[in-house]
Chain A
Amino acid sequence: MRYGTTPSACAALIRRDLLLTWRRRGDALNPALFALIVVVMFPLALGPEPNQLARIAAGIVFVAILLAGLLALDTLFRSDHDDGTLEQLVLSPHPLSLLLASRIAVHWLTTAVPLIVIAPLLGEMLHLPKTVLPVLLAALALATPLLSLLGAVCVALTVGMRRSGMLLALLVLPLYVPVLIFAAGACNAAQAGLPFLAPLLWLGAALALALVLAPLACAAALRISIT
């Protein structure tokens, strides 16, 4: 008799999710396209004045990426909930929080990493100063996993409801605002020639905390949603 071990279960989940993303690779580009469209709108609306755009570039990139992430958030547990896979995962002999952490990791990899990859392009379109770009990327690398983890807890709470879109946005936004403030704050400080390390360190600390606590909260919330 061979029972599934926890590492094999996490590996199976990661393999399955990557395979599913590959099968629907057109959909996987949606968040990146959305962010691109948002960023294209700003020069059209504000005028192509480079100085004006450069001043607000980092903020626009962050808001666009945050909204794109919010758009992709609902898919995190939706299909697993609707087809009964979530029920099976809850009944599986493994810590649910670890399984969910793998799920969130793949979700971040497939939705947020493409956004980080196109971030230099988005910055360039808004005349973001070259010196700020490394800070922007560092802030994104810390902020996007944090957003995924915080969002996952809220999705887990609302996945049992049929029309959870509005509620999800209301739950998520207050949690996203501090992340946005610190991430954009780091870029603005770098742009003004001020020290930018402190807000980045705050993001790192919050990420470390969320990495440990969010999967546990997520598991507890999912157990409630399912029953």
Chain B
Amino acid sequence: MSSDHPQTDIPLLQAQGLAYARNDEAVFGPLDFVLQRGEVVLIEGDNGSGKTTLLKVLSGLLEPVSGSIELDGEALTLARISHQVALLSHLPGLKTDLTPLENLRFTIGVFGMRPGITPALALASVGLEGYESVPVRQLSAGQKKRVALAKLLLVPAALWLLDEPYANLDKEGIDLVNRLLDAHARRGGAALVTSHGAYAFTTGTPRRLPLRQSA
């Protein structure tokens, strides 16, 4: 896999003239940006400016009306997306009747696993040690978010698309997201993070990608 031997000169993600419209009404774009490995970019915009839609387009769930997306220097196809891209949407994708550990095992079965990590380790690193066998139903909204973050730690995707990862998290949780993003960037991964800006990035100054509604 190319992700095992990152070539620094080719950007992980490159978008040119990317635009999406719903029923002929422009949602965002046209948008040009480049995301290098090791970079974390914050997508900024007001409510309804198309942040979530942008992530869905980049993940391949929605088809852009115009423009091109290149992943690792090649045009995006669904097969390539799914190995390289992990999307954390506002729906956590957790089964509330199962325990966090059982949810993570399902994720591993479907998406595979990074080397050097286990589901228990992932849960411990998001601060959920001791909650391995509590049904997700009984966890708080913030704890559910942490389980969803543990899923990100396990899957072998290089590009993280995080939709409002700070929502529902306490101050410690926000630090946790920042730590996870830093570690991911150091491993040669990259992330696009949306936030309406209230409490994002207490540490560091990431690159920002402002999203404005096109007139």
Contact = CB atoms under 8 A, between A and B. Distances in A.
Bin the interface of chain A by size: 20 to 34
B95 A83 contact: yes
Contacts of B59: 91
A1 B109 contact: no
B3, B108, B109, most chain A CB atoms within 10 A: B109
Contacts of B90: 84
Contact of B106 (A12, A24, A82): A12
Contact of B109 (A11, A87, A90): A11
A24 B97 contact: yes
B93 A90 contact: no
B96 to A, nearest CB: 7
B97 A23 contact: yes
Interface in B74-111: 79, 81-83, 85, 87, 89-98, 102, 105-111
A220 interface: no
Contact of A1 (B89, B98, B115): B115
Nearest to A10: B109
Contact of B82 (A11, A24, A92, A226): A92
Contact of A90 (B61, B94, B113): B61
B114 interface: yes
Given A89-B110, A91-B60, A1 B156 contact: yes
A48 interface: no
A160 to B, nearest CB: 13
Contacts of B60: 91
B198 interface: no
Contacts of A11: 109
Contact of A88 (B1, B81, B97, B110): B110
Contacts of B25: none
Contact of A4 (B4, B91, B98, B109): B109
A12 B102 contact: no
Contacts of A99: 110
B132 to A, nearest CB: 15
B156 A84 contact: no
A99 B111 CA distance: 13
The majority secondary structure among interface residues of chain A is: helix
B82 A19 contact: no
Interface residues of B, number: 37
B108 A23 contact: no
Contacts of B106: 12-13, 15-16
A85 B93 contact: yes
Nearest to B111: A4
Contact of A20 (B1, B82, B93, B98): B98
Interface in B6-50: none
A91 B59 CA distance: 8
B17 to A, nearest CB: 21
Contacts of B111: 3-4, 92-93
A87 B61 contact: yes
A20 B95 contact: yes
Interface string A82-123: 111101111111100001000000000000000000000000
Contacts of B183: none
A76 B115 CA distance: 34
Q: Please list the 10 inter-chain residue pairs (A to B) with the smallest Cβ-Cβ separation, ordered nearest first.
A: A12-B109, A84-B91, A93-B82, A3-B112, A4-B112, A84-B93, A23-B97, A9-B110, A16-B106, A88-B93
22 contacts: A1-B1, A1-B114, A2-B112, A9-B109, A9-B110, A12-B105, A12-B108, A15-B109, A16-B102, A19-B102, A20-B97, A20-B98, A82-B91, A83-B91, A84-B93, A87-B87, A87-B89, A87-B91, A89-B110, A91-B61, A92-B82, A94-B82
Interface of A: 1-4, 8-9, 11-13, 15-16, 19-20, 23-24, 79, 82-85, 87-94, 99, 226-227
